[in-house]
């Protein structure tokens, strides 16, 4: 068995609303608790010996279909999260990057995102990526159109990879919480050879202890990338 280093971890954070409902709380409380878990998992990853980047599915292009009040709360929560987490990023040498179409957000929120990206661009222990107003199909479509606009012909896989918003290595491990087992239009290009892990835990209850167990499980998998066992 050949062990492959885990360098790019992707997470679909699912279960905030169900967590709140189980506790008789408003859905917003689930989102607030979920934001705390993002901090815990990110700081954990910043000390991991091989993880270089962790990408969180924070707001999809489909999430606009949620009730207006919930969407507005999520926008305020994101702004507050980035404002508070800048100190965490700097303390742990974490670079922040957003992917997705942030032009749909308020100018204030766009400015916040860009400010935190600029302030942390030299940090090196980890890149934390938040997928915001993101969809995998939209990302691939935009990449192809960008290449066409540049006059590119006979487009290759390498061309598309270089034009994506996530010009990092492909995803090694994709984790989805809450027991759901679907991809939900997330990093479709980058997960081509990723290992999947579906956790039964609701995201607000997800811990670094469970993540450690999942990473250990990953190390015992045999990634053949289309080849055969030797």
CA pair distance 87, 213, nearest whole angstrom: 29
Return the SS3 of 108: helix
- Given its phi and psi angles, is residue 132 left (phi above 0), alpha (psi -120 to 50 degrees) or beta? beta
CA pair distance 228, 71, nearest whole angstrom: 47
Q: Catalytic annotation on 16?
A: no
Q: Which of 14, 16, 133, 172 is catalytic?
A: 14
Tokens found for residue 137: 């199909």
Q: Catalytic annotation on 14?
A: yes
CA pair distance 190, 166, nearest whole angstrom: 8
CA pair distance 56, 62, nearest whole angstrom: 16
Q: Which of 128, 168, 125, 173 is nearest to 3 (CA)?
A: 173
CA pair distance 43, 128, nearest whole angstrom: 10
**Quick count: other Cβ atoms within 10 Å of Cβ 13?**
22
Q: Which of 63, 101, 123, 185 is catalytic?
A: 63
User: Which residues on neighbouring strands pair with residue 55, listed in sequence order?
Assistant: 10, 129
* Length of the chain (residues): 230
Integer-rounded Cα Rg, in Å, for the chain is 18
Which residues are catalytically annotated? 14, 63
């Amino acid at each position: 068995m050949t062990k492959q280093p885990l360098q790019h971890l992707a997470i679909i954070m699912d279960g905030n609303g169900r967590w709140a409902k189980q506790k008789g709380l408003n859905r917003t409380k689930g989102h607030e608790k979920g934001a705390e878990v993002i901090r815990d998992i990110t700081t954990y990853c910043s000390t991991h010996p091989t993880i270089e980047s962790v990408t969180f599915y924070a707001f999809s292009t489909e999430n606009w279909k949620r009730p207006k009040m919930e969407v507005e709360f999520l926008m305020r929560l994101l702004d507050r999260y980035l404002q508070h987490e800048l100190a965490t990023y700097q303390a742990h040498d974490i670079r922040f990057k957003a992917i997705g179409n942030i032009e749909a957000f308020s100018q204030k929120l766009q400015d916040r995102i860009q400010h935190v990206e600029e302030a942390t661009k030299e940090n090196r222990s980890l890149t934390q990526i938040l997928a915001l107003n993101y969809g995998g199909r939209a990302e691939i479509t935009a990449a192809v159109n960008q290449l066409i606009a540049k006059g590119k012909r006979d487009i290759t896989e390498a061309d598309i990879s270089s034009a994506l918003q996530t010009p990092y290595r492909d995803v090694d491990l994709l984790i989805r919480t809450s027991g759901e087992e679907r991809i939900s239009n997330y990093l479709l290009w980058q997960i081509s050879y990723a290992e999947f892990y579906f956790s039964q835990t609701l995201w607000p209850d997800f811990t670094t202890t469970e993540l450690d167990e999942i990473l250990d499980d990953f190390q015992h998998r045999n990634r053949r990338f289309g080849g055969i066992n030797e």
